[in-house]
A and B are shown apart, each in its own frame.
Chain A
């Protein structure tokens, strides 16, 4: 009896596996014909051979981090960049450009190696998590070009793509300073470190440039995935009288939105705003007919990826260089989706400061030390 039960369970497991396996395969096929889901390697190799026959020209691919190509953030943005690049140059997915999705940290090296063997000329690693993997593989294949987004990697055949987040954050600070009525604004950071400090420094500098009397409350949640802490911090700030919060904290920011929406729902007249990050977070701020998203500091990974691919295709690959995309090349920008909240006055102010930054009149600080000197010089 006892053995029998185990046998039944085993049989059940096997049959479930079979059914689920069957579902997966058919979905995969469908996905490949369209444009999204990543196929398995054998299919890719097939496509790859046909590609070589067809064009045999320049080809480019990217490896996502665990967020996946549809993460509504930089992976997706990078992929959109590649798609735009492909369209411009008459390629199609699998013939000229493609991506490999990483399900775990262990997939990075494998994915990059696979793409190298498929003879892609330029391979991007999206996200700082891929930096060690890109460095490792790049040193083994000096003839292939690599790109790393959001990090700096050593190697003559690697282009490091970074962003001047402090410049975008500066403009977010200008918007916040123009919008605040209580002269108190807040900054919620993910993890306290060099990268997020760039956002903080730029934001504070932007606020203080408009009005040095505005207080900036800076708090870190020490996590990019703690919505509950984000909500606590936001509720603390709003209770203290802060009316605009800029978050650079990934999913922790969901809590900031939740709190702002809560306040707005109970009191439609309340002056509470959130400034989003990385992409336009307008949708996240919707409360009924109003919206708490003032604006968002958008990082244009797509533009950067497209730009480097074009350079590489023209034989001018910036190997070994650290590229910084900022306001002047539209690498970072400020969203204007919330037309009601972004008044004429705010937009004019943003344009003015953008002008000053791009023509070099204002040097936006990117660290806390620089910020101190900057604020003292005001």
Chain B
């Protein structure tokens, strides 16, 4: 295999890995920018994966080839509602946001497995009949080299992830809504004084993170795992959280971080065919994402600065 061919296999593979992380990390950005820590991303992904798979299995006959798309949409809605639990606990009742997030993680897996057992009477669901399939984009895939790298063998969901990252960037940094969202996360009291409804903004942000987390989970389930079991989502939510931090709470940063994680993963497997990389032991590429996240947190790679009031519940009228 030539160099170009190897790159042509690495890029789509890295994007398959990265896409769910991108979606979920964007959700994390929304929530954390509004000042609510979201450790529960993992749980939201589990919920998304569960709903996506169950909906697909149930309604495949009705929607046919469009089922995967409808499924991820339904998964978004259900996960957004599920994130309400986190919102109610941590915003209205000012519970510790980390504890509440951990509870989300346990709860989602518990509910998913319990219902799987109740509905299907087994420990895991069947595989879905028609998952997302990789496609070649007509015309564009004919471009030499670039076409092979970026327009053949990709999932539509991978493109969607990249587009969505730019949409989220636009929303957070270029719209009044985004400005309010950020101000609520930096200094809620000042925002409140200016007439911004802090609670409402935070509720919206947490539900958006639920929707995007659910999207990430269902995309993972419908591109990679194809069924739901206790081992469908194991750690991807935390990887997404790491991408949020490594990306410095910036949507495009998170996009870059998630893609980087994807590349680290696929390079560790494909790397043996590449010059230079074939001498690097696989283990270093595997641990690279984690090491870099720690370095980013420790301040070695620029300064990763969290929104100022992240993790602090806002109490109206207090000083």
Contacts and interface: CB of A to CB of B under 8 A. Distances in A.
Interface stretch (B129-137, B178-186, B191-199, B207-215): B129-137
B122 A231 contact: no
A283 B127 contact: yes
- Name which of B12, B131, B136, B224 has the most chain A CB atoms within 10 A of its CB: B224
Given A257-B127, A286-B129, A228 B265 contact: yes
Given A227-B232, A251-B229, A257-B226, A236 B122 contact: no
Given A229-B265, A232-B265, A261 B131 contact: yes
A70 B118 CA distance: 12
Contact of A228 (B12, B92, B136, B224): B224
A20 B76 CA distance: 25
B16 A231 contact: yes
Interface in B237-282: 265-266, 269-270, 273
A239 B122 contact: no
Interface residues of A, number: 38
A189 B126 CA distance: 22
A236 B223 contact: no
Interface string A191-233: 0000000000000000000000000000100001111110111
B149 interface: no
A359 interface: no
Contacts of A250: 231
Interface in A62-95: 67-68, 70-72, 76
Contacts of B124: 71-72
A265 B133 contact: yes
A226 B226 contact: no
B177 interface: no
Given A227-B232, A262-B134, A6 B93 contact: yes
A240 B1 contact: yes
A226 B224 CA distance: 10
13 contacts: A27-B118, A70-B122, A72-B124, A76-B122, A225-B231, A228-B220, A233-B269, A235-B9, A236-B266, A240-B1, A254-B226, A257-B127, A258-B226
A228 B17 contact: yes
Interface in A231-245: 231-233, 235-236, 239-240
A262 B152 CA distance: 13
A5 interface: yes
Contacts of B223: 258
Interface string B10-21: 001100110000
Contacts of B269: 219, 229, 232-233, 236
A266 B141 CA distance: 14
Contacts of A255: 224-225
B64 interface: no
Nearest to A222: B286
Q: 8 smallest A-B Cβ distances: which pairs?
A: A225-B231, A70-B122, A239-B9, A227-B225, A251-B231, A71-B123, A265-B133, A68-B123
B133 A266 contact: yes
Contacts of A257: 127, 226
Q: Which of A67, A76, A231 has the most CB of B within 10 A?
A: A231
B131 A70 contact: no
B158 interface: no
A290 interface: no
Interface in A85-107: none
Contact of B234 (A70, A226, A233, A236): A226
Contacts of A239: 1, 5, 9
A215 to B, nearest CB: 14
A11 B204 CA distance: 26
B227 interface: yes
Contacts of B121: 36, 70
A71 B125 CA distance: 10
B72 to A, nearest CB: 16
Contacts of B13: 231-232, 235-236
Contacts of B122: 70-72, 76
A293 to B, nearest CB: 11
Contacts of A286: 127, 129
A227 B234 CA distance: 10
A254 B9 contact: no
Interface string B86-100: 000000110000000
Given A5-B93, A67-B123, A266-B133, 15 more contacts: A72-B122, A224-B231, A228-B16, A228-B224, A232-B270, A236-B270, A239-B5, A239-B9, A251-B229, A255-B225, A257-B127, A257-B226, A258-B223, A262-B133, A262-B134
Contacts of A266: 133-136
A67 B117 CA distance: 12
A9 interface: yes
Most central of B13, B134, B236 by chain A CB within 10 Å = B13
A232 B17 contact: yes
Contacts of A283: 126-127
A68 B121 CA distance: 11
For B236, B266, B273, the residue with the greatest tally of chain A CB atoms inside 10 Å of its CB is B266
A258 B123 contact: no
A370 interface: no
